[in-house]
Amino acid sequence: MKDFLRNNGLLILIIAALLAVLTGVGSVFLRGTANPLSNVLNVVATPVRDGLSWLAHQTEAIYNYAFEYDALKEENERLRKENADLAATAREGEAASRENERLRQLLGLREKRSDIELEAASVTARSTSNWTSTLTISKGSAEDVAVGDCVIDAASNLVGVVSEVGVNWSTLITVTDASLDMGGLVSRTECAAIVEGDFSLMSQGKLKLTYLPDNADVAAGDQILTSGRGGVYPSGLVVGSVESVLTDPSGMTRYAVLTPAADLDSLIEVFVIKSFNIVE
């Protein structure tokens, strides 16, 4: 047996075990900073991935123009109408804002404000493992992106949280990843709960709202926002909407299944929240 192992790669197995330990220990100590091997590989691959992602986007645009012209025209008309409605709502909002500001001054309240520093990035790769839900983006430590930064789409919908940072790339876990959990808030009733990924829902592209209080008023269609409690993540980012409210197998507590607001499958551009200062 000893000879068999000696002649059949025992040394290679020992090297593999040492490398495994080294990588494992390294990932613990580096705390989200990519290990050197991963960093080098991704630094080289990032420009190629950027190019491919641009090519895929252009091909999709040409395809849409050639084969889905009518649908795009219809969508354009619908968006024009929606834009007009939103402009009217914004005008009303501005008036309400001015009034709110005036009343706050009269009552001597602090002004609500939100200073957010954003970094635009493009999505260059999608989940590489069935056991996690991740996206790779084109910005990294060179642009001051850090582990724990929230990532949103153009409509301020939460996409995920940065989990690993390389020089010119970062990996983020999306809102559907089983390891994600953060404070959530039901927009309609302001009921606080926990937003978390769930293993069985991850493959369906959904997540959960758990630790709902007994008297929580949550219904299908309710919008869920980040609560911002603890100050780790900014508040008011749209996580998703309630699809259904269910009772867990023990029959003791309820949870809600959420559909993410961000379209994780077709994201092209995202924004990393590098720093925030929200005063409520």
Partner 1 sequence: MTRRDFIYKWLIYGLALLPVWWLDTYILNRVPLLGVSPVLLPLAAVAVAVQEGAVAGAGFGLAVGLLCSAVYAGSSGGIVLGVCLIGWGAGAAAQYVLSQNFGGCLLCSMCGLAGLDAARILTRLLNGAGDFSAMLRLAGLEILWSMAFVFFIYSWFRRVRRQIAKFLRL
Task: Kindly list the residues in this chain that would bind partner 1 in the complex (CB under 8 A).
Answer: 7-9, 12-13, 15-17, 19-27, 35, 37-38, 41-42, 49, 52, 125-132, 134, 136, 163-164, 171, 173, 178-179, 198-200, 202-205
- Plot region of 7 (φ>0 → left; ψ -120 to 50 → alpha; else → beta): alpha
Helix 36-67 with 69-107: angle, nearest 10 deg:
120
CB of 272 to partner 1, least distance (A): 17
Nearer CB in complex with partner 1: 169/271: 169
CB of 165 to partner 1, least distance (A): 13
CB of 157 to partner 1, least distance (A): 21
Nearer CB in complex with partner 1: 127/138: 127
Nearer CB in complex with partner 1: 173/238: 173
User: Minimal CA–CA distance to 194: which of 130, 258, 139?
Assistant: 258
CB 195 within 8 A of CB 161: no
CB of 160 to partner 1, least distance (A): 11
Neighbours of 144 (CB within 10 A): 14
CB of 155 to partner 1, least distance (A): 23
What string of DSSP letters covers 267-278? --EEEEEEEEEE
Neighbours of 30 (CB within 10 A): 16
Nearer CB in complex with partner 1: 6/104: 6
- Residue ranges of E strands in the chain: 113-126, 134-137, 150-152, 158-165, 170-174, 181-186, 192-196, 207-210, 223-226, 238-247, 254-260, 269-279
- What's the token pair of residue 172? 């983020």
Element (H, E) at 63: helix 36-67
CB of 80 to partner 1, least distance (A): 32
Nearer CB in complex with partner 1: 17/62: 17
Tell me the C-alpha distance between 201 and 197, whole Å.
Answer: 8
CB 137 within 8 A of CB 170: yes
Nearer CB in complex with partner 1: 11/109: 11
Nearer CB in complex with partner 1: 37/86: 37
User: Minimal CA–CA distance to 243: which of 216, 213, 266, 223?
Assistant: 223
CB of 56 to partner 1, least distance (A): 9
Nearer CB in complex with partner 1: 49/191: 49
* Residues with Cβ within 8 Å of residue 114, at least 6 apart in sequence: 234, 236, 276, 277, 278, 279
CB of 230 to partner 1, least distance (A): 21
